[in-house]
Each structure stands twice: as structure tokens, then as C-alpha cells.
A and B are shown apart, each in its own frame.
Chain A
């Protein structure tokens, strides 16, 4: 059987198994996020599996090159999740190859507590001290005016996420990082396609990370990437991802550098096989070519996905503006054009209803909601025994923990869903009056 015949059958299978289902208001679910795909993803996935190369191969090569170009970076390294991307990026900053710039145990990393834990966990895992500052209620991003006061002579890096796609104030944060010689890692897991001053997020810092989990802007099932234009950080990040090895042969290749039995490393004997020389305490966080194959098909759709997310955000904003007495709507950071992950808002504290009342009402009507991830990280059980420092008060972070939810803007939400979402909000607000 020829490969083309198999792939043709896969297209037919897609048409039969994944035909679009009609939306039934009140019965069909309106997710906050989800996979959006067609036959192309199934075809590339099966195509990659038929290669049976399994580890990173032609599709990973294509994805890394094209995604780096889309993100306006010189290099992209695929990893198996956005959290792994954060782990690799932060770990890279601890490399001895950075000499006196490397982060060492006890150094501080400035961040926020209103977000996803794995933006912060890598610092904890490396014995670094997270320093939390407060966020703004309207952008959900770091309160820039709080950063300078939070710095100490131990602060070596800033690691922040662009919350739900809304960019943090990159000009201000970058200026502070440059002024104090700090590394800047941009967690872009929720912000692929967002721009600031016309430039892609991720291009301002030393490294950027993305996620390709199904809820994200594009998916490969499990997946993520580390992006950088710094060749040394690229080399270190690749080593961290690939067991910490010193060698840079691609999977299935030997002796790319031609020095396999020639060098002397550490206290190893001269000529010790370079394939088994480790320059970092690394991990194995690689992807398979099947995952990358799905990513290649998704990448073609990404520009459209970004536009649809922006359009859905605008529709929700316009539709919910009438409820501003009760809802604090999100504001894009000045100079930014966010590719929103979701539509976040705060329920203003009032005597008629709570966030939970609204969330339950929406969920009862099959509209899925989420809170802003961990809310306030330091209130999480996992952080009970973690060493961290809080600079100032986390008043807004606590407010977000109590009052924020978000709903979906993902490309699977079409006009019919949007009309339904807004009608349910209308029903809710009618009920409280």
C-alpha cells in the first residue's frame, strides 16, 4: 500500500469521525479553550508515524524553523510542554557557561504570584528565591512601579508571564532589567501572537517560552518551546533539554563535531566518548516527531487563530461592557496588541452576587469558566514550605484570587456561541435585579 493511499483514507476518516456538530444552546458545551483542527493535522500525524523515525525528525526541523521565524527569533527548541520550556529556560541561566552571570542558589528571581505555578516553580527547584510583587487589576500583569523597590543585590533575573495573552509593560520591564543587568525570561505560553510596539512577545527578553497544550493558541497535544536569539543560551538550553549532554548531535547522528574520541572534559580520561560527556545537570524533555507533525499543520492556521481570538475578545468586551457596574473588564496593556488566551474579568465585590455565583450560573448553562490559575501562589498548599520573599502588599493579587474568572475566546467559539454566551450573561444580570 502506498503512503498516499493511507493518507487519503485518513482524510476520509477525518470527514466521518470529526464532522462538525451543530450547536445546541444550553446543551452543547462552550469550552474556555480547545483543539481546533481539520484533516491536515491527522494527515501529518499519520505521515510522521509512517516514517517511524519517532524521535525529532523532519517535522521537528520544519516546525522549529518556521515557528522561530513567526516569533521573530533566531532559534526555537521544541520541548514536551510549556512548563518544561520554563524549566529549561530558567535552568539555562544557572549554567557555568555563563560564568559570572550565572544564577546561583540563593539568588532572587522577580516574578508575580497571580499566575500559573510553573512560571515560578523552576526558580524554587533550583534553590533560587522567588520575589513576588503585586499586579494591576485591569491588565492582570506586574505592577511596574513595584519592581524597583523589590530588587536587592541578590536579584539576578525577572521571569514573568504575559497574563492570558495580555503583554506586561515590556518597555518598562526591559529597561529595569537592562539597568540592573538582570536576565529577562518572557513566559509567552498564553501569548503566542501577541505583539508589543509591533514586535512579537518573547523578542524583548533573553529567552521566551511557549506552550502547545491543547488549550493553547496552537497544539501538538503535549508540547512547548524555548525561543532565543542568543546562540549561547540556545546551546545551553538544548543541553538542558537533552540530558545535560555536551554533545550536540541530532537524534540518530553520531560524531557531528568530529571530536567524539578526541577531547578531554572535566576529570574524565582523554578521549572519553563525547556522546556521554555531560556539561549540565539536565533533563530529557524532548518531543516526538509525531507531536511536531501536528504542530506543523497547526502553525499554518496560527495567523487566522490569532485574528479570531482578537475578534472574539472584542465581541465579548462590547457585549459585557453594559455590566461594568458589576464586572471590571480587562484592559490591553498600552502599546500592545494581545492575542488573548481567554477573556478575564473581575467580579466587583458587591452585595448581590459573588464570583462563585456567576461562575456556577455560567457552568450550569454549559459555559466553562476558569479562575486565574493559582490565584495567589503563596496561598497554595505547595508553597507552604517554600522560601520566597514578598515585596510590598499583594492586595490586587488577593483580589484576583477572590474575584477573577475567565471565559473562552478560542477560535472554536463562533458567532452562535458568542450570542449564546452574551444571552446567558443577560439572563444572569436580569435575575439579580
Chain B
């Protein structure tokens, strides 16, 4: 079952005015799979009673023995605005983790892993990357990642360091950036890439329209291993 743990904010990194990368220190550090998500409540909850109002966030890092985790949070409503206001360095919150089925392949250790992410949808992909580095499987990794502008891009340095160059595809939608297409990811980008569609595992993370667009197109060409994570 889920682990309920107090979490202390170690650092906050701003990515423009609407996105932040939080590093938290878990009080209770239990193993979780890359790609999992957690529930975060601003209440300091110690007793095991009904879970209070919370929001779900993908964990943007793989399990670490030191109990630190990363979250990428976009301010989109009242509760995330409260998070931006109240979660500052050294403050605490309560998290319940880890959940989800947006996880790396369990039996297949060979077929390509193709990740398609929009905006903060890159969060679980970054945890995949960390895990695949540990497992020495990064040559399987293909990443298609679009972000609004340079300020909002996340983890690109890490992606560049571990994803084979020909398999990393970056797109900037609202700003001209050197050598990057100034547009969204399109179906043809995936379809024309050198990826065996029937064999590969596709991980799509982004808004509902984004995930359904790629999932439908992949399904239409015979892809069987499609996993989506919407926010």
C-alpha cells in the first residue's frame, strides 16, 4: 500500500513564473518504480485517517537511497497556487506514494522505449532516464519532447547526456531556438523516425489532447505497447 511520509523542501528551482522544480526530502523512504506518481497535500498529516485534499504529481526522479525526490509542478489552479505560496525551502508537506501504471517494461529488456512528452509531461520521462542509466539500457531510449520556451524546458542537459543524439528530438513551440523546430511534435515526426512501431514501447505524457492524438495514431499503425499519462 501507499507510504505516507512527511516531506521537507530542500530546494526550489524556478522555470519561468509558472513552473517549479522541487527537491524534497522524504522522511520515510520506500522503494518506488520510475514513472510513479505521488499525492501531495499541504497538510502535515500524521494520523491514518481520510486523506485530505491533495494533488497528484509524477515523480521526476528515480528511487534514491538518500530519500530525495524531484517534482515538476505547474501552477494551474487554486491548489497549485497555494503550493507555490506555501512550499518554500525548509517547509514541509505530506506525500503519499507511489502509484501508477506508467512504468517501464517489465519482461522485455530489448525493444526500444519511445517517450513522447509535452511540457511538464517530461517529469516521469526524467525518472525513466535515471533508471535506464542505472540499468545500462539508455541505447533503447528515444525521446520526443516539446516545451514552450527556453525557460520552461526541463532536464534537457540530462537528456542530451544520456539519450543517443539521433534519438533525441526537441521542439520549442513559442520561441525560436537554435537548431530546434519551432513547432509542436507532430505524428509524422514519430512515424518517420527509425522505430519499429509494433515492437516498441510508447510512453506518452502530456495534456489529454496531446496523449490521445499520439495514442490514436500509434494504435492505427499497429503499435501494441502504448502507455499514457495525462495531466
Which residues of B lie under 8 Å from residue A248 when comparing CB positions? 99, 101
A258 to B57, CA, bound (A): 11
Q: A65-B30, A252-B50 are in contact. Are A56 and B106 (CB under 8 A)?
A: no
Contacts A250-B2, A256-B99; A51 near B30 (Cβ below 8 A)? no
Please judge, given known A-B contacts A60-B1, A257-B99, whether A231 and B33 are in contact too, CB under 8 Å. yes
Q: Mark B81-107, 1 if CB is under 8 A from A, else 0.
A: 000000000000000100111010011
Judge whether B3 is part of the interface by a CB distance below 8 angstroms. Answer: yes
At the interface, yes or no: B79 with Cβ under 8 Å from chain A? no
Contact pick for B48, options A51, A64, A65, A233, CB 8 Å: A51
A53 to B99, CA, bound (A): 21
Give the distance in Å from the alpha carbon of A257 to the alpha carbon of B55 in the complex. Answer: 10
Is B56 part of the binding interface, using a Cβ–Cβ cutoff of 8 Å?
Answer: yes
Contact A58 B48 (CB under 8 A): yes
Beyond the given pairs A51-B48, A253-B51, 7 more chain A to chain B contacts, judged by CB atoms under 8 angstroms and listed by A's residue number, are: A61-B1, A61-B4, A64-B1, A75-B31, A256-B39, A258-B56, A289-B48
Find the B residue at minimum CB distance from A48.
B48
Question: Which residues of the other chain, A, contact B2 by a CB distance below 8 angstroms?
Answer: 61, 250, 253, 256
Nearest Cβ distance between residue A178 and chain B, in whole angstroms?
12
B230: which A residues are within 8 A, CB to CB?
259
Which residues in B have their C-beta under 8 angstroms from that of A60? 1
A:233-261 near B, CB below 8 Å? 233, 235, 248, 250-253, 256-259
11 contacts between A and B (CB under 8 A): A61-B1, A61-B4, A65-B28, A233-B106, A250-B1, A251-B1, A252-B50, A252-B51, A257-B99, A259-B230, A289-B48
CB of A74 within 8 Å of the partner chain = yes
Q: Which residue of B lies closest to A53 (CB)?
A: B48
B 42-56 binary contact with A (CB < 8 Å = 1; else 0): 000001111100001
Interface residues of A (CB under 8 A from B): 51, 53, 56-58, 60-61, 64-65, 68, 74-75, 101, 230-233, 235, 248, 250-253, 256-259, 289
How far, in whole Å, are A250 and B107 apart by their CA atoms in the complex?
26
Do the beta carbons of B106 and A230 come within 8 Å of each other?
A: yes
* CA–CA, A289 and B31, complex, Å: 21
With A53-B49, A252-B51, A258-B56 in contact, do A231 and B3 touch (Cβ < 8 Å)? no
The CA-CA distance from A252 to B49 in the complex, in Å, is: 8
Interface residues of B (CB under 8 A from A): 1-4, 28, 30-31, 33, 39, 47-51, 56, 96, 99-101, 103, 106-107, 230
Task: Return B220 CB to nearest CB of chain A, in Å.
Answer: 17
Q: Are A257 and B100 in contact (CB under 8 A)?
A: yes
Q: Complex formed: what's the CA distance from A68 to B33 in Å? A: 14
CB distance from B75 to the nearest CB of A (A): 18
Please measure, in the bound complex, the distance between the C-alpha atom of A131 and the C-alpha atom of B1, giving whole angstroms.
Answer: 35
| Chain B, Cβ-Cβ closest to A233 | B106
Residues on the B chain within 8 Å of A57, using CB: 48
- Cα A251 to Cα B4 with chains together (Å): 13
A257 to B230, CA, bound (A): 10
Question: A247 CB to closest chain B CB, in angstroms?
Answer: 10
- Inter-chain CA distance A258–B49, complex, in Å, is 20
Are B33 and A56 neighbours in the complex by a CB distance under 8 Å? no
Q: Are A101 and B101 in contact (CB under 8 A)?
A: no
B219 to chain A, nearest CB (A): 13
Within the complex, the shortest CB–CB distance from B156 to chain A, in Å, comes to 27
Chain A contacts for B51, CB-based, 8 A? 252-253
Q: Given the complex of chains A and B, what is the CA–CA distance between A244 and B186 in angstroms?
A: 38
Query: Closest residue of chain B to A256, judged by CB?
Result: B99
Contact check, B101 vs A235: say whether CB atoms are below 8 A apart.
yes
CB of A231 within 8 A of CB of B103, answer: yes
Q: Residues of B contacting A51 with CB < 8 Å? A: 47-48
Chain A: which residue is nearest B224 at the CB level? A99
| Complex Cα–Cα for A250 and B56 (A) | 15
**A232, closest chain B residue (CB):** B106
A26 to chain B, nearest CB (A): 48
Minimum Cβ distance to chain A for residue B226 (Å): 13
Tell me whether A74 and B100 are in contact in the complex, defined as CB-CB below 8 angstroms, given that A252-B50, A256-B39 are known contacts.
no
Query: Within 8 Å CB of A289, what residues of B?
Result: 48
Contacting residues, chain A, for B30 (C-beta < 8 A): 65
The smallest beta-carbon distance between A180 and chain B, in angstroms, is 15
